[in-house]
Amino acid sequence: MGRSIVRLKDIADKTGFSTNTVSLALRESPRIPEQTRTLIRQAANELNYLPNQIAKSLVSRETRTIGLVLTDITNPTLTRVAQAIEIALSERGYGTLFATSNNTLSEEIRAIEMFRSRQVDGMLIYPTSHRKLDHIRPLRQANYPIVLLVGDPDAGIDAVCMDERRGGYKATRHLIDMGHRRIAIIDSSNPLGNLEKREGYQQALAEAGIEADPDFTVDPRGHSVGRGFWAMDQLMAGPRRPSAVFAANDSLALGALRWCQSHGVRVPDDVAIAGFDNIEFAEFAGVPLTSVNYAVETVTRMAVDRVMRLISAGDVLPEPRVTQIDPDLVVRESTRPVR
């Protein structure tokens, strides 16, 4: 049995007014006396009437919705970003539609096409790859409002993001300043992936005259705590053990920390650990983690402001603009000067 949809005619039948009068009353038209509007609103509430947003959007050419594509809904930082974006858009009278690519390019493309078919007014996207954007770039060139939440200054697409290269540099520079020379990294080595944090790590080593050691690089093949535990096991089983580890996110860092606790390796006395994102669990870990802070409130506010600006621009968008936010390093007990 199909759902019963309450129409304006149903309210008209219930109240005895014309359909046109009902429509004007529900739009709070001053042409309709207040007493009549009150009676019609009461009848609409009793019938559980909801406005037909599809019909309204056909007239206004706006759906008042934004599509948000995440790479991994289980990532604590992305969960916080999604919540903040939903709140910010709600304050502006917009709804949010969510989709997750699960770090798969084909799923990302499917999500974008799904949002386009639903005629969302704009999109905010965490792309699976910072370097494979050929499916997004033509949309921006066709004046479709899209803002990436990670960015390449040369991509030709608007973006608001943390400067991940700078964050990787700061974390590694901090470990160097603590006196470490054998510094490992836990991060994806996929050449088509997101290498900004690794590039920052390599830059800091090069400036300090430290040669990057292949034995101190492990691809965790994922982003979870479990993959961090596995990656740390690979590092510590190598021919030389690092004295410090930089992990590309806090989940990986927490996995590395758990490995150390399970194997009697003291943090930071035997090995220092730094992460990225500054999630809540990092602060309250068994050994609180030093971490690069992801400024959720700043990123979301600026990204929502930008997509609203693009939507309001109409059929001719301004030139793409990439805003990279310089991250702060939050220093905690997992790192300290070498003794």
HSE value, Cβ hemisphere, 13 Å, CA-based, for 212: 15
List phi, psi (to 5°) of 95: -95, 160
pLDDT, position 151: 82
pLDDT, position 60: 43
Q: How far is CA 7 from the centre of its chain?
A: 39
pLDDT, position 274: 98
Distance CA 61, CA 56 (A): 8
**Closest by Cα among 166, 133, 170 to 152:** 133
pLDDT, position 63: 79
How would you classify residue 133: left for phi > 0, otherwise alpha for psi between -120 and 50, otherwise beta?
Answer: alpha
**What pTM, to 2 d.p., does this model score?**
0.82
Digit-coded pLDDT (tens) for 270-283: 999 999 999 999 99
Digit-coded pLDDT (tens) for 205-252: 999 999 999 999 999 999 999 999 999 999 999 889 999 999 999 999
Helix or strand run (H / E) with residue 289 = none
Cβ contacts of residue 108 below 8 Å, gap of 6+?
Answer: 69, 71, 101, 125, 127, 128, 135
pLDDT, position 269: 96
pLDDT, position 228: 97
pLDDT, position 22: 85
pLDDT, position 298: 97
pLDDT, position 270: 97
DSSP assigned state of 300: H
Residue with tokens 């944090």: 197
**Closest by Cα among 153, 148, 145 to 128:** 148
3-state DSSP assignment of residue 330: strand
**Closest by Cα among 45, 63, 46 to 54:** 63
In the predicted model, residues of the chain with pLDDT beneath 50 are 1-3, 57-60
The distance between the two most distant Cα atoms of the chain, rounded to a whole number of Å, is: 87
Distances (CA, A) of 223 to 74, 165, 189, 256: 10, 18, 13, 12
pLDDT, position 59: 47
